[in-house]
Amino acid sequence: MSYSFIRQKLTSYVIGPLLGGFLADPSTSSDSNVFAWMARFPFVLPNLICALFILISALIITLWLDETHPSLRWSGQDQGRKIGRWITKRLCSIFSKDKRYERLPARDEEELAAYPKAYEASGNSMDSRLSSDSTSSSVTPVDTQPTLQSQDNTKLPRLLNWRVAITLLTHFILVLHISAFNTSILSFLSAQRAEASQTVFSLHLAGGVGLSLYKVGLAVALLGFIGLSTQVLIYPFVTTKLGSFTSYKTCLPLAGLGYFFLPFMIILPNDSWMLWLVLFLLLGSHALSRTFAQPGMIILVNKCAPDPRLCATIHGMALSIGSMARILGPFGSGWALKLGLENNMVGVVWWCMAFAVGVNWILLSTLPALDSS
């Protein structure tokens, strides 16, 4: 696992939620009058910080990163890079006045300018290669039989067999409950606690956990830290021993257990060590399940194709189905959570997610038999 992947996950899932929770609603978390005007707009500060980071990234890309396209790399028309070189030169001249080197004659620039001409003179330019490839392809006789066969293989009855249908359905359910969880957990943790006492066995659970915005950000950062640690430390060893599909099927019920017990957190003492311990266990079960489920699902989609030439088509269908699930999951869970908070049945949305995990696991149980067929 590369360092850039770990850095990206650490920034997105740990540092990002912490920063957002810490900066949200500064008028109530700070005694300074500087943030008093933000009382009407409690979420403006984290969005301004995010916009500032994006602006800095855009400036760095424009001023100090070279063009990578082969046909444009040596054109010398990048005005952004010219400005970046001028800024770099000025900064170096300011901070290194005493140890400044003299500029040599522009021999290196002449060599760089002559490089594309020498490259083209050698007969290895991209245009010549493209023209030679096009010429060779035009001379090669065309065989119409593979084209007819590929067109026949892309017909819908041959594509959607039982194995493909089960795999795509499990993919839809997995993305559905994960996207629903990502939306509902923030609202559930930040929703106010109910004033009346909770009735557990009659399942009338009202209100939310009642955490502050900063603590909600801390909880989401905790979820990201558990997921990152699992990906780096646990996932490679478990999948080596059990395989991707068995690991996926074994760890999937952990998400269902987390969903089932999440609404019972409202009966725990507010902001106590017991609440944070239970929250750590429940978020950890979801993170562990998601860590093994998402790569396993990609492998299942890759292996369910009846013909290798249909892999791209099936992956495109899986992406479309996943996008539909990412629309329906947050919409349905937000609507169900709203009704649950209004009617003192906040556990319904979580138990529906647990039911979806159960259906997903049952469908996965049929896939080994399909593998052997």
Q: What pLDDT sits at residue 116?
A: 52
93-97, 151-155, 183-187, 355-359, range with greatest mean pLDDT: 355-359
pTM: 0.66
Q: What pLDDT sits at residue 157?
A: 55
Q: What pLDDT sits at residue 151?
A: 43
- As a whole number of angstroms, the distance between CA 343 and CA 14 comes to 34
25-29, 130-134, 210-214, 306-310, range with greatest mean pLDDT: 210-214
In this predicted structure, which of 16-30, 164-178, 203-217, 333-347 has the lowest mean pLDDT?
16-30
Q: What pLDDT sits at residue 357?
A: 96
Dihedral, CA atoms, 263, 264, 265, 266, nearest 10 degrees? Answer: 90
List, as one string, the DSSP characters of 184-233. Answer: HHHHHHHSPBPSSPPBTTTTB--B-----HHHHHHHHHHHHHHHHHIIII
- CATH tag for 161-372 (out of 1.10.3470.10, 1.10.357.10, 3.40.50.300, 1.20.1250.20): 1.20.1250.20
Contact 347/235 with Cβ under 8 angstroms? Answer: no
- As a whole number of angstroms, the distance between CA 325 and CA 334 comes to 14
- As a whole number of angstroms, the distance between CA 278 and CA 263 comes to 11
The mean per-residue pLDDT over the stretch 52-78 comes to 82
For 282-291, write each residue's pLDDT tens digit: 999 999 999 9
Q: Where in the chain is the domain with CATH 1.20.1250.20?
A: 161-372
For 47-56, write each residue's pLDDT tens digit: 888 889 899 9
Look at residue 360 and tell me whether its pLDDT is greater than 90: yes
For 269-283, write each residue's pLDDT tens digit: 887 889 999 999 999
In this predicted structure, which of 92-96, 163-167, 297-301 has the lowest mean pLDDT?
92-96
Look at residue 98 and tell me whether its pLDDT is greater than 90: no
Contact 201/7 with Cβ under 8 angstroms? Answer: no
Q: What pLDDT sits at residue 266?
A: 86
For 92, the 3-state DSSP assignment is helix
Q: What pLDDT sits at residue 150?
A: 42
Kindly report the backbone phi and psi dihedral angles of residue 276, in degrees, each rounded to the nearest multiple of 5, phi listed first: -70, -30
**Alpha-carbon distances of 81 from 53, 61, 75, 84, 96, rounded to whole Å:** 20, 9, 12, 5, 22
97-101, 173-177, 270-274, range with greatest mean pLDDT: 173-177
Look at residue 46 and tell me whether its pLDDT is greater than 80: yes
Q: What pLDDT sits at residue 196?
A: 61
Show Cβ contacts of residue 235 under 8 Å, excluding neighbours closer than 6 positions: 247, 291, 292, 295
In this predicted structure, which of 68-72, 147-151, 156-160 has the lowest mean pLDDT?
147-151
The mean per-residue pLDDT over the stretch 105-132 comes to 50
Q: Which two tokens stand for residue 255?
A: 């998400």
